[in-house]
A and B are shown apart, each in its own frame.
Chain A
Amino acid sequence: MKSRYQYILFVVVVLLVQVLLLNNLTFSPLVAPLAYIVLVIMTPLGTSSLKMICIGALLGLAMDLAMGTMGINVIATLPVAYFRRPMLHFFASYSDMDGEGGVPTSLRLTYFHNYVVAMVVIHSLIFFCFEHLSMAHLGYMLLRFVVSTAISVGVVYFFIGIFTSKLVRR
Chain B
Amino acid sequence: MHKLIYFIKKIYTPLIFFFLEIMALYIYSSSSPYAASQLRSYSHQIFGWCGSQFTAMRNYFSLDSENIALNERIAQLETVLAAYRNHYPQSVEAEIDIAPNSYIAAKVVSNTLSSKQNYIVVNKGLEDNVRIGMSVLSPEGYAVGHITNCSQRFSIATSILNTTLKISARLSDDRSMCLAFWDGVDAHMFNATDISKYAKVVQGESVEAADFSEYFPAGAIIGTIESFEMNDDNTMYNCKLRLAADMSRLDNVILVDNSDIDEVKILKTQPEPAVQNLSAQDSDESLNVQTNP
Q: Does A78 contact B38, Cβ atoms closer than 8 Å?
A: no
CB of B28 closer than 8 Å to a CB of A: yes
When distances are taken between beta carbons in the complex, the residues of chain B under 8 Å from A130 are: 28
- The A-contacting residues of B in range 18-76, CB under 8 angstroms, are 20-21, 23-28, 30-32, 34-35, 38-39, 42
A68-76, A89-97, A139-147, A161-169: which one contacts chain B? A68-76
Name the prevailing secondary structure of the B interface residues: helix
Q: In the complex the two chains form, what is the Cα distance from A75 to B35 in whole Å? A: 13
The residue in chain A whose Cβ has the minimal distance to the Cβ of B42 is A133
Question: In the assembled complex, how far is the CB of residue A146 from the closest CB belonging to chain B, in whole angstroms?
Answer: 22
- The B-contacting residues of A in range 112-170, CB under 8 angstroms, are 130, 133-134
CB of A33 closer than 8 Å to a CB of B: no
17 pairs, CB–CB < 8 Å, chain A vs chain B: A49-B13, A53-B13, A53-B16, A53-B20, A60-B24, A70-B27, A71-B25, A71-B27, A71-B28, A72-B28, A74-B20, A74-B24, A75-B21, A75-B25, A75-B28, A78-B17, A133-B39
Question: In the assembled complex, how far is the CB of residue A79 from the closest CB belonging to chain B, in whole angstroms?
Answer: 7
Contact with B along A27-69 (1 / 0, CB 8 A): 0000000000000000000000110010001001000000001
Question: In the assembled complex, how far is the CB of residue B47 from the closest CB belonging to chain A, in whole angstroms?
Answer: 17
The residue in chain A whose Cβ has the minimal distance to the Cβ of B39 is A133
What's the tally of chain B residues with a CB closer than 8 Å to chain A? 20
Instruction: Give A contacts to B, CB under 8 Å.
Output: 49-50, 53, 57, 60, 69-72, 74-75, 78-79, 82, 130, 133-134
Q: In the complex the two chains form, what is the Cα distance from A70 to B35 in whole Å? A: 11
Q: In the complex the two chains form, what is the Cα distance from A134 to B42 in whole Å? A: 10
Question: In the assembled complex, how far is the CB of residue B40 from the closest CB belonging to chain A, in whole angstroms?
Answer: 11
Given contact pairs A70-B30, A133-B38, A53 touches B24 in the complex (Cβ within 8 A): no
Q: Does A78 contact B25, Cβ atoms closer than 8 Å?
A: no
Given contact pairs A50-B13, A75-B25, A78-B24, A133 touches B34 in the complex (Cβ within 8 A): yes
Given contacts A70-B31, A78-B24, 5 further A-B contacts (CB under 8 A): A50-B13, A71-B24, A71-B31, A72-B28, A78-B20
The residue in chain B whose Cβ has the minimal distance to the Cβ of A132 is B38
Most interface-central of B20, B26, B38 (chain A CB within 10 A) = B20
The residue in chain A whose Cβ has the minimal distance to the Cβ of B36 is A133
Q: Does A79 contact B34, Cβ atoms closer than 8 Å?
A: no
Question: In the assembled complex, how far is the CB of residue A16 from the closest CB belonging to chain B, in whole angstroms?
Answer: 24
Q: Does A75 contact B24, Cβ atoms closer than 8 Å?
A: yes
When distances are taken between beta carbons in the complex, the residues of chain A under 8 Å from B30 are: 70
Q: In the complex the two chains form, what is the Cα distance from A70 to B60 in whole Å? A: 44
